[in-house]
Amino acid sequence: MKKLEKILFLLISVFLIFSCGKKTEPFPIKESIPKGLSFEINLNPQGAELLISLPTKTEGGYSLNKIKALIIEKIELPLDIPKAKKKKKTIKLSPKLHSAGNLFIYNDYELKHRHQYTYRIKVIKDFLVETPFTEPITIFWHNPPSFPQKFQIKLLGEDALLITWERPKEDIYGLYLEGEVFYQLEKVSKEGIKLVEIKNKEEYFDKIKSGEKVCYNIRAILNFRGTFIPGPKTPDKCVE
């Protein structure tokens, strides 16, 4: 009887030893791939701002707590050199995922005058687990336009005014400005901020409340081969 008890004890001990520390089977690679990666590009007078929505789930629906790397591929092509070769640059980043939000912003201020840029991104979760590259986004960069010239406000009675300016002829570096230009007028009052887009003219008529302080500024926006490049805003001009 004691011999049988010893045998059972040994069998149970062996089972417990091999059971301890047994790891859960890993998810299949396909279900571990991050899901929902996307991005868009906003331009400002300094360059390009990439707004990247990082994934928070995997293809299998599991929560994604961290990623190993975010890869941005940037391809540069000069527009004024015939048969120029494309220049590729790979940018590797390590953003942290936050429960409060998954937006990651990358600013690219290394843009050259009259060049084309194409971006695409991917995420590496860990070894052998990564997303494919996103669809590419292409922009055309030109030095931003300078300030609209002779920006002024003329009062037309107590409740109306006329704002006038002249088209900038140069970019912010004093070079010739190529392409269509339109304008964005910003109005600041007690009611808040109002943005007005103005095309094909250099004037704007507005009504105001008598005795109310209102401030305006304006910027030129260059349409360069379908890419809208904003220039700097003028200093505010106010009336009351």
**What is the tens place of the pLDDT at every residue in 99-142?**
667 899 999 999 999 999 999 999 998 888 899 999 999 999 99
Task: Decide: residue 153, CB within 10 A, 0-12 exposed, 13-18 middle, 19+ buried.
Answer: middle
Rounded to an integer, what distance in angstroms lies between the CA atom of residue 124 and that of residue 34? 8
Per residue in 18-51, pLDDT (tens digit) is 545 444 445 566 777 888 899 999 999 999 999 9
pLDDT digits (tens, 9 = 90+) for 146-171: 999 999 999 998 889 999 999 999 99
More confident site: 12 or 179: 179
Strand-strand pairing, 38-44 and 87-93: unpaired
User: What are the structural domain ranges in the chain?
Assistant: 31-141, 149-239
Q: Do domains 31-141 and 149-239 have the same CATH topology?
A: yes
Q: How far is CA 157 from the centre of its chain?
A: 44
pTM recorded for the entire structure: 0.82
Residues in Cβ contact with 104 at an 8 Å cutoff, skipping those fewer than 6 apart = 52, 53, 54, 70, 93, 95
31-141: CATH topology is: Immunoglobulin-like (2.60.40)
> Tokens 């929505």 map to which residue?
53
Superfamily of chain region 149-239: Immunoglobulins (2.60.40.10)
Q: How far apart are CA 151 and CA 234, in angstroms?
A: 8
Indicate if the pLDDT at residue 70 is higher than 50.
yes
Are 29 and 128 in contact, with CB atoms under 8 Å apart?
yes
**Contact between residue 123 and residue 134 where contact means Cβ atoms under 8 Å apart:** no
Amino acid occupying residue 48: A
Contact predicate 131/53, CB 8 Å: no
Q: How far is CA 193 from the centre of its chain?
A: 23
Smallest CA-to-CA distance from 104 within 90, 93, 118 is with: 93
Per the CB < 8 A criterion, the answer to whether 80 and 73 are in contact is no
Are β-strands 69-78 and 87-93 bridged in parallel, bridged antiparallel, or unpaired? antiparallel
What pLDDT was estimated at residue 192? 94
